[in-house]
A = this chain, B = another copy of it.
Amino acid sequence: MNIGEAAAASGVSRKMIRYYEETGLLATAPRSDAGYRLYNESGVQQLLFIKRARDLGFSLERIKTLLDLWQNTDRHSADVKALAQQYMAELDQDIMHLQSMRQQLAGLVDQCHGDDEPACSILDGLAQANSPLASPT
């Protein structure tokens, strides 16, 4: 199986497959006489694993650890769980950060008339030190 077929079967682009190999996430693939990378079912399974982990937002560094754990039958599931929980905690942080920004922004947007006049509470909020939501601490 060439890289194009592996890419189609896994949903990981050719570019990214080469990149994953280059950065050590994947072992160097065997080559044909012409130098083409060759993949088998096992390689596609690894690509699918990476794809699903990326879709969940795991960083490539963490996926490297996950792949190592996956292929190590002496693993402890506690290690996997700890990694996932660490990542989940970061997700929670990110979500709260976005929600905080959204809430502050909504406060400004609600006060903006949104008409033909230049007066705008959004610009005022950015120009003046205290955003209306942050001031009464």
Contact = CB atoms under 8 A, between A and B. Distances in A.
User: Main secondary structure on chain A at its contact with chain B?
Assistant: helix
A117 B52 CA distance: 23
A92 B102 contact: yes
Interface residues of A, number: 54
Contacts of A76: 115-118
The oligomer's copy count stands at: 2
Interface stretch (A14-22, A24-32, A65-73): A65-73
9 contacts: A52-B126, A56-B105, A57-B101, A72-B118, A77-B116, A84-B112, A88-B109, A95-B102, A98-B98
Interface of A: 45, 48-49, 52-53, 55-57, 66, 69-70, 72-78, 80-82, 84-85, 87-88, 91-92, 94-95, 98-99, 101-102, 104-106, 108-109, 112-120, 122-123, 125-127, 129, 131
